[in-house]
Amino acid sequence: MRATGERPDGLRLRALIVILWRAGLRISEALALAETDLNPRRGAVIIRRGKGGKRREIGMDRWAWEQLEPWLTTRAMLPAAGLFCVIHGPTAGRRWEASAARKQLRRPAEAAGVRRRFAPHQLRHAHAVEMAHEGPQRVVIQRQHANLGITSIYLQGIDSSEIITTVHSRPAPVTLVLRFVSNATY
């Protein structure tokens, strides 16, 4: 995250990393977000069309909201559109495409010493692994991450509030965790 820089492009990239990593989103879900999908007071993010076209609400910890704030401030000065948008040129304000985001994520990954090719989905995996190590109930992780098919019938008793409360209790990452994420192999 430090390798992204402090310019608007870097702030946008850092915000994308935070959303992918700390909320466990897919790149398509993150890039489809609107500012109205964010509820910092509740600590929740609404995914309007996730995998399979499903709507869900997920939680994000306080540290992640703090990291997102510089981008939200910069974003307010750009034309209205999605949360993650093109910053420069005649298409400024339009939705940022996944291919462009992936390409821009590679540069800071290399600068940070990531040796393997970096894929945004690795941050989603890191989210699930970290949550499992931090001890939340497995069903909370599954509800935040997976299409459970038939087993979802058993999980209907868990509402979004419980998921959000569990995610809020996550500690802020430490440098050791950041190294783990950057050197992770999947």
Q: Which residues of 134-149 are buried (b: 16+ CB within 10 A; e: fewer)?
A: eebeebbbbbbbeeee
Q: Which of 127, 143, 145, 170 is catalytic?
A: 145
Q: Which of 12, 14, 22, 26 is catalytic?
A: 26
154 is catalytic: yes
> What whole-number distance in Å separates Cα of residue 123 and Cα of residue 27?
10
Catalytic one of 12, 14, 56, 124 = 124
145 included as an active-site residue: yes
Q: Is 168 part of the annotated catalytic residue set?
A: no
Considering the candidates 49, 54, 138, 154, report the single residue annotated as catalytic: 154
Q: Is position 121 annotated as part of the catalytic site?
A: yes
Q: Which two tokens stand for residue 101?
A: 């985001």
Among the options 42, 48, 95, 121, which is catalytic? Answer: 121
CA neighbours within 13 Å on the CB side: how many for 146? Answer: 13
Identify the three-state secondary structure at position 89: coil
Is position 124 annotated as part of the catalytic site? Answer: yes
- The span from the CA of 41 to the CA of 156, in Å, is 25
User: Which residue is catalytic, options 51, 94, 106, 138?
Assistant: 51
Active-site residue 133, yes or no?
A: no
Active-site residues, by number, are: 26, 51, 121, 124, 145, 154
